[in-house]
Structure 1
Amino acid sequence: MKIEYLGHAVVHIEDQGFKGIIDPFLKGNPGCSRSPGDFKELDYIFVTHGHSDHIGDTLELARATSAKVVANAEIIDYLRKQGLENLHAMHIGGKFQTDFGFIKMTPALHGSGISHQGEMLYGGSPGGYLLKVQGKKIYHAGDTGLTMDMKLLEEEAVDVAFLPIGGNYTMDIEDAVRAVSFIRPRVVIPIHYDTFEVITADPEDFKCRVKDAEVVVLSPGATYEL
């Protein structure tokens, strides 16, 4: 499995029979050197919530690749009204079996409004994703504060967890370290930091504090083989 970090909360995953991207905020993402046109093939697009730095370039990517978009029901309704058809609606706690494994939507403490033509539309509940892809388990927390629900993920034996560390809108380093102790993944990769000044954080500080997992710090554009 090849995991590519594209800055902010964007994670691109490729494995045998699977090509997916989570929260495809490409244009306007200062840490991302990729454009939507670089992605010729995608099977799935996962959207954690409706904020513009997460729903990002979903429409353009979905139209170009015919990828299935997975999101909460309210975001799916919005995307359907924009002309997309290959859609799959979920909600918190829901689990769906797929040909590559499964998708489960996990709780997140955040907002989910969708910016549209100068207005903020209701975007349902924010979430994260627990994915099982060809036997490997990946947890993307989305934008969230620390939650006790994360303790339940310890039973899932997560291989790689993507956790926000930037603070202000999400967990900061201190709370992300607590989250690692709750989840106990094999590997943790910090995300959602340094995109904007208000979420400046030092991933090496996070790495030094974590005792319960291997921390892999990826610069935007770097990859990790699982």
Structure 2
Amino acid sequence: MSALQLAIFDCDGVLVDSEIIAAEVEAEMLTEFGFEFTAGELGARFAGLTWGAIVKRLEEETGRAFPDDFAGKVEAAVKERIGREVQAVPGVHAMLDLVDLPRCICSNSATSLLQLELKRVDLWDRFRPYVFSAVEVGSKAPKPAPDVFLHACREFEVDPGAAIVIEDSVHGVHAAIAAGCRVVGFTGGKHTWAGHADALTEAGAETVIGRLADYPATVEALSLWRGD
């Protein structure tokens, strides 16, 4: 493998603690529609997927069709609450100060939401213009497709094997592995659940950390160990 040349960050659940907010809103609105989910159950099953993909899976599993405007209403409610409440994951600014690699964000969220939440926690200017929404760049295929990671590597002219990704979801880890990137799992968001670290390891993460404060040393260690 190549020496590390690019740090790729997932956003929701890694940089900003938004996954728990989204899961709470989604669980409330699904309950009103007749589905009994807790925020924790939603996070464990669907973290890292787009809301459209979640709705499609539920329709396939249950045979029930959601109203045409349901997904849009949920997305609007999530965006409104995130805009009011989202906080940075603890330690994110100090961590970024110590990771001495070019960096970008690869997320399934739309750019409009990414800009909203990143500006709220003073992170937008630390990444722009390298904030890539999977549903808006390249093939527009969301994770678990690897396309957004491959797009980022092309933008930086870096071999995927020289990129390190930090992800909090199994779907994100699968996408990064499929792209050929190296992956660190992260369980430091408020949406974490029992078995989260094991699930990320089983998905292919080389190691899993629970604090962003541990990420710079992890990057340094993986830079020395190339897996050759």
TM over 0.5, yes or no?
Answer: no
TM-score normalised according to structure 2 size: 0.34
Structure with the largest fraction of strand: 1
TM-score normalised according to structure 1 size: 0.34
Q: Which has the larger radius of gyration?
A: 2
Structure with the largest fraction of helix: 2
